[in-house]
Chains A and B, each alone.
Chain A
């Protein structure tokens, strides 16, 4: 570089202009000393006075004539129209970045800050040419052997390339152009899960281990459309198969004190909006997934999503919700998708929830569910009518009796005793019930139901299990 400087004044002046543009871009007018030090390392003969004179001149006239030019002669002259000079200046700037030991990515981003229309392919060509020791900025590219482009690649190589990509990368790549879209769509891909997390100001989709964030760039552009389109694409793609879908609609847990956002950015109905968008993009589709996990405030998103999942294929549902609506709940429990479930996990079963609707499922568990006499009656009445049901577990909070002290009699477990006597009383009304061992004999079969009530710290656990005699 120093030899270039000695022989070519254009190189030196271009570098000063390039640095001046950056110094103004970063709104720091007084960093010329740093620039000088940096340039001095590459150009040992550089005089401070000469540098400073040029720096001031360029700073004063920075916005005259051609805004994006990197060549001082082109930039500050109303007559110079030649782009040839500017191309040379562009190459000098790349050489300058290479000598400053910037990575290809940093150098490209840095150059684009002062010249927006830089073509990456051209930039990269020169960057690597200089990096490998060919410092001739006047090299004629037309003398090079014919360059191969990505678009020249045979289809089987393009296939090989995209097969190496993760699902998230495939989604981005297929948006590049029609040809790539055709190649990617043609490939069969199996993967395990998709996890959508909705927050009130952004959403994230974890595509089988790679997370893509969809962040709002403005209150109007919340990227939700684009997120739902990407999700729908994966869900409905005929050649992409997966088993688990996990959606977190619980976006109301935003705490303004943690992360203050302008009011316009809040969207209390983000979950509702997302559910409606999904509903529209999934119209006429039945998605064959096996397990679904939904975390939501209301049941509305589940009621919207469930009809688009293939009944019979959907086997397991893990549901967490906090607010119940009788109408929505009834709609869901009437759906084929709900009725054909084999496994259900509900974190909380509200008091009004009709417990009998759960007994068509092979196995269900709930970790927050009150067992009242009314519920026991409903369980008793449905138990023999469901041929599929095999196991259920319901927990509810009950304070454990304190440790007995030696001079007092053992403290009794009132909650446990109450539940046991309720079970015996209600279930005992059925002729098939045997209070010894709390068993129900199933007619014309060698099976029976067994009821077990146990305590685990501050929780009582109620289980019904189908067993062979």
Chain B
């Protein structure tokens, strides 16, 4: 188990009340450990409820095993907690499923999200899973902005999505692969065509 003992972001002690100065330990699915301040955890509704329900004391945090987050790997979790530490104490937008009309990506977030698409998509998944509304807003905005000035073909390359034709072809291929009888019929049909028969029946 690799332990990252230092907090993800240095804590400004003067800014945090004494009773809030508690660091929870979390573990990613690839066994990387993180220490995150209580105030930063509040950005995540899921984690906040979890630690409230656990009711850990300062001793429990140190003595009991780290809280496992099984769906998220260490690389992604590090980004998530960096974001939470940076934005700790900020007001949390109410998530009613709607998207704010104007989402601005702050400089810190833009730098944090200067990553490849694979990791960015994982960050969105993590923000959704951990219910971090503002992180979800900015990361979705970042993906939405990728469409700016691009053609559909360019967007397919960026999102790595197949076109309708490619999708159809892949589905057909998958169906044929699953149904050997269909393939046999197809082969028989082709064979009969080669032999000069006009009708399959």
Contacts and interface: CB of A to CB of B under 8 A. Distances in A.
Contacts of B125: 148, 153, 157
Contacts of B124: 153, 157
A150 to B, nearest CB: 4
A53 interface: no
Chain A to chain B: the 4 pairs with minimum beta-carbon distance, closest first: A164-B144, A175-B152, A128-B116, A163-B99
- For chain A, the bracket of interface size reads 35 or more
Nearest to B121: A148
Interface in A115-155: 119-121, 124-125, 127-129, 131-132, 145, 147-154
A160 interface: yes
A169 B116 contact: no
Given A132-B115, A160-B136, 10 more contacts: A127-B116, A128-B115, A145-B73, A150-B121, A157-B136, A164-B103, A169-B144, A173-B155, A176-B156, A177-B162
B75 interface: yes
Interface in A166-221: 169, 172-173, 175-180
Contact of A164 (B128, B141, B152, B155): B141
Contact of B30 (A145, A156, A172): A145
A128 B79 CA distance: 14
B143 interface: yes
A176 B161 CA distance: 8
A169 B124 CA distance: 20
B145 to A, nearest CB: 8
B199 interface: no
A164 B161 contact: no
Contact of B118 (A121, A131, A163, A172): A121
B140 A161 contact: yes
B64 interface: no
10 contacts: A120-B158, A121-B117, A150-B159, A150-B160, A152-B121, A156-B97, A160-B140, A161-B140, A164-B141, A177-B164
Contacts of B159: 150-151, 176
A172 B121 contact: no
Interface string A91-133: 0000000000000000000000000000111001101110110
Given A120-B158, A124-B116, A124-B117, A145 B99 contact: no
B116 A125 contact: yes
B13 to A, nearest CB: 30
Interface residues of B, number: 42
A162 interface: yes
Contacts of B178: none
Contacts of A148: 118, 121-122, 125
Interface string B86-99: 00000000000111
Interface string B105-143: 000000000111111011011001000000011001101
A229 to B, nearest CB: 13
B147 interface: yes
B99 A178 contact: no
A177 B116 contact: no
B45 interface: no
For A151, A152, A164, the residue with the greatest tally of chain B CB atoms inside 10 Å of its CB is A164
Contacts of B58: none
A105 B145 CA distance: 14
Nearest to B148: A169
A4 B157 CA distance: 31
A165 interface: yes
A172 to B, nearest CB: 6
A213 B145 CA distance: 19
Interface of B: 29-30, 73, 75, 97-99, 103, 114-119, 121-122, 124-125, 128, 136-137, 140-141, 143-145, 147-148, 150-152, 155-164, 167
Contacts of B73: 145
Nearest to A127: B116
A156 B150 CA distance: 23
Contact of B151 (A129, A151, A164, A172): A172
Contacts of A164: 99, 103, 140-141, 144-145
A129 B116 contact: yes
A235 to B, nearest CB: 20
Contacts of B160: 119-121, 149-151
Contacts of A145: 29-30, 73, 75
Interface in A43-81: none
Interface in A349-386: none
B161 A177 contact: yes
A178 B128 contact: no
A19 to B, nearest CB: 25
A137 to B, nearest CB: 16
B10 to A, nearest CB: 20
B30 A121 contact: no
A157 B116 contact: no
B144 A165 contact: yes
B119 A128 contact: yes
B45 to A, nearest CB: 15
Contacts of A154: 128
A119 B116 CA distance: 13
A125 B75 CA distance: 14
A175 B116 CA distance: 24
Contacts of B99: 160, 163-164
